[in-house]
């Protein structure tokens, strides 16, 4: 099922990589960009990521089969507002937000009900980089994309979005909205929160941040995600606050257990936790066919 015309709202790393992937697969006719930053959209055209861009939402979505909202979760509601007057029945709408409950709530607010042609989605891919210059035509290759259709979602719309992501190389799965938000809180949002907290805690230890001079490769890897965009992560934490709080609570219980083992020189307890973690980590790396290095 070829897409005749696609509109990407927010042509950054995620939206731009989707455009590149669909073009590479020959799965899409024209790709139109829309966004707040014309300079960025011009770059996207120059790089061949999109075919053209429009300053006006009405023009941007005219005659498109699918609209992809690839903006930070904090901007979804505003984009729904701009989009709302121009939505047609044939137009399928999807998004790439890292939290799904908040996007669905924003749609409900703007449209009065969850539109049948809205298919909430989330590609599990990306780096700490951002911007259309970093867009890749294989970012989604063999990566998972989670779709969280709701009761109201039209089966045809779901098929269209699934096909789009499969054409981009992704493995598509469906999941309940709440479950998605809990899983992502655990595997993505919580690690980011911990990395940010660790770096901030160490930076506060001394003014000159002398401690960082003695950091080795493990620390660099561990804290890489603390170089992520602060605005985006503020948005995500606002949008998924409850699931993140729940994940934090769960983590804190294990950390407390481990802290007590260290305080009590409880060698056996420490070893059990470290060993269990190593087995789990080595196991999931193997399962995901990731290089351990």
Of 150-189, binders to a copy of itself (CB under 8 A) are: 183-184, 186-188
The residue (of 131 and 230) whose beta carbon lies closer to a copy of itself is 230
Residue 106, both tokens: 């924003």
Positions in 15-34 near a copy of itself (CB under 8 A) = none
Positions in 240-279 near a copy of itself (CB under 8 A) = 241, 244-245, 248, 250-255, 258-259, 261-263, 265, 267, 270-271, 273-278
Residue 122, both tokens: 């989330």
Q: Does 285 bind a copy of itself (CB under 8 A)?
A: yes
Residue 98, both tokens: 């890292």
Q: Which region holds residue 112: left if phi is over 0, alpha if psi is between -120 and 50, else beta?
A: left
Please list the alpha-helical segments (H only) found in the chain.
Answer: 13-25, 38-46, 57-60, 76-83, 101-111, 155-167, 177-184, 190-205, 217-222, 230-239, 241-263, 267-287
Comparing C-alpha atoms, which of 227, 238, 194 is closest to residue 98?
A: 238
Positions in 193-222 near a copy of itself (CB under 8 A) = 193-205, 209-222
Q: Does 63 bind a copy of itself (CB under 8 A)?
A: no
Shortest separation between residue 266's beta carbon and a copy of itself, angstroms? 9
Q: Does 287 bind a copy of itself (CB under 8 A)?
A: yes
Q: Does 142 bind a copy of itself (CB under 8 A)?
A: no
Q: Does 283 bind a copy of itself (CB under 8 A)?
A: yes
* Residues belonging to the chain: 293
Shortest separation between residue 156's beta carbon and a copy of itself, angstroms? 26
How many Å is the Cα radius of gyration of the chain?
21
């Amino acid at each position: 099922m070829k897409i005749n015309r696609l509109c990407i709202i927010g042509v950054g790393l995620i939206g731009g990589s989707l455009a590149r992937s669909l073009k590479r697969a020959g799965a899409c006719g024209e790709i139109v960009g829309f966004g707040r930053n014309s300079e960025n959209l011009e770059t996207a055209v120059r790089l061949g990521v999109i075919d053209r861009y429009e300053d006006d939402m009405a023009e941007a979505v005219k005659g498109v089969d699918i609209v992809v909202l690839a903006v930070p979760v904090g901007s979804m509601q505003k984009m729904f507002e701009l989009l709302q007057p121009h939505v047609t029945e044939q137009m399928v709408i999807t998004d790439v937000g890292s939290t799904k409950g908040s996007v669905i709530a924003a749609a409900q607010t703007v449209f009065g009900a969850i539109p049948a042609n809205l298919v909430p989605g989330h590609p599990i891919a990306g780096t700490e980089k951002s911007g259309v210059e970093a867009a890749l035509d294989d970012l989604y290759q063999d990566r998972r994309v989670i779709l969280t259709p709701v009761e109201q979602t039209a089966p045809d719309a779901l098929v269209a979005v699934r096909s789009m992501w499969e054409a981009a190389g992704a493995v598509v799965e469906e999941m309940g909205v709440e479950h998605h938000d809990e899983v992502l809180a655990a595997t993505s949002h919580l690690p980011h929160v911990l990395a940010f907290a660790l770096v901030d805690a160490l930076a506060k230890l001394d003014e000159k941040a002398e401690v960082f001079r003695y950091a080795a490769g493990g620390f660099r890897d561990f804290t890489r995600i603390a170089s992520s965009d602060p605005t985006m992560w503020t948005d995500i934490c606002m949008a998924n606050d409850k699931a993140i709080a729940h994940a934090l609570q769960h983590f804190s219980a294990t950390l407390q257990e481990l802290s007590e083992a260290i305080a009590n020189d409880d060698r056996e307890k420490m070893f059990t936790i470290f060993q269990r973690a190593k087995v789990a980590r080595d196991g999931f790396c193997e399962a995901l066919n990731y290089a351990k290095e």
